[in-house]
Structure 1
Amino acid sequence: MKAWRVEELGHPSESMVLRDDVADPVPGPGQVHIRVDAGNVNFADILLCQGVYQDRPGVPFTPGLETCGTVLAVGEGVDVPLGVRVGGMAALPAGGYAEQALVRAHTALVMPEDIPAVDATVLYSTFQTSHVGLHHRARLQAGEWLLVHGAAAGVGAAAVQLGVAAGAKVIATAGGPEKCAHVRALGAHHVLDHRSDDVYAAVQDLTGGHGVDVAYDPVGGDLGDLTRRLMAWEGRLVVVGFASGRIPNHPANHVLVKNYAVVGLHWGAYVEHAGRAVIEAAHDDLLRLYRSGSIRSDVTGTVPLEGVPDALAALEARAVTGRLVVTP
């Protein structure tokens, strides 16, 4: 089969090699063998190729941590039916940037056939992350103020839509006029350009000095530092990631004085450490919201298998608005 291989750790532009003679993967116990229909272009895969992600498979391996496809075979102890479409986390070293891949069975969720594969793969991880973050971790309520950073793409864009669907008052930040326009189209009530707007002053003005009840932060850095100053009494600040490249500072004394909570969100850890109940509940609600038209996948481009390195480079350069999906 055709697959991208990392044969030496390094930046994807240098470490990834496209091979057409890779053996078809064989599922072991607890694994599902799929024909890949679609897969997410993720920043985590850039880290994976460099050997600095939390999962560190030995070389050679195929990257592509989140994938969606049709079940061809299953390993011992797996009861997923053949022929259904599933989304799941790749069982490395047989990742999703390939024509076929292996998925960890305990992460697999059946994706109904009425949902296109490119939408299904985004609902699986991107929307799952934001749903669990907003509803399970932050307990977002209708009428609350929600601040979303990195709102033009990925989990931020998903959080905007989910916040609006939940009846929250959504303030979103993005960088540049084009991205801000995209966020407005997603339904955010207020959009701030963090490159040119005074985010602190604007949020204080919009909320009448109340601050935000929930902040959803996949960016960190300077925006992350600023966000703690905007937290309302008994607010919840959800730490999702550090796309800026810097971990923000959230001093414990500030948390104490303002009585807000800082909660972490590592979505993938739920299936590893907390069973499937949380992600299955989110899955059911996401399917309902998608079918009702309350959310959309926000896929703005698809790329063939050959285009993976260029897509990762665009993502790293913050040149992506919306979501890119690989379709082998």
Structure 2
Amino acid sequence: MAVIGVIMAVPALISFYVLWVISMLLRPLFILSVGLLLWNFPSTVLKFKQVVNTLAYMFFTNDKKYKKLPEVDMEDFKKHERKTIIFVRHGESCWNDTFNAGERKKVDFIKGFIPGLILAAGTEVYLGLTGRVDSWFYDSPLSEYGIDQIEILAKFLKKPGATTSEQKDLAILNGTSSTSSVLISSNLRRAISTVAIGFRSRLAQNPTQKIVIHPSLQEISRNPDTLSITPVGKQVEASWIEKSNYPHVAGVLQEQCDMKYHIGNKSMSSNGGEKLRGAKLRAGNTIITVVIRRSAVALV
């Protein structure tokens, strides 16, 4: 009977010691975490604001509440000057990697969802504790997979073009055409980085050229990945992924982004209809009319 009693007590003893070890480890980790948060107090405050903004926009924003826009009057439309706009979709972001299947099979996405979510949350905590003004979720940057996608775009732009029409378009995209063109991006990091990486040859050959950043291109959504992390009057900061693996991006973001139209994040009272109605920009003798829902680049 005594032996049976000892055997039955083993699970309880193991559980006790496991919990004791965990508590002993958690205490210093908790103290260290609090110390890091206080040491990086400005970043801690910013991270807290991001959390508050995320919750506020998810529940109270009017971004997706707007009336259907009126049909375009084609007769009136014909009277206006015509411009060509080439749209380029941004690469996959960290948010996309976490919550969207993308090119993955649904089974693979489902199996990897929880591990991916743990990785995302862990990275977010790490960025917060180390005092970095960065985020996996908020204004989600290009993921490594997204950057690989944009590398394919950069290689495509170097191709000669199979037809006369393709050659003409590629010349415009590369900035080597006699037709003037402007690079324009939303104020979200994944879009701006798409331009910086995909069009790096053009930007390197024309160091005075700027990527025009405009809030009318900011994505219409309640999600935190569509909220801009860049304050008014500040240049865009490269993400931790770009700083580690693509250092040239930081230079483009700091030196070749025109932020004069950037007014910060979209307001709670604004809505997507205001963006869709369009905003006019002047760049030399070129007028760019922004009338899109989501985009990375428009060349006019």
Q: TM-score category by the smaller chain?
A: under 0.3
- Max radius of gyration: which structure? 2
Higher share in strand: 1
Structure with the larger RCO, 1 or 2 (CA within 8 Å, 6+ apart): 2
- Compare the two structures and name the one with the higher helix fraction: 2
| TM-score calculated relative to the size of structure 1 | 0.26
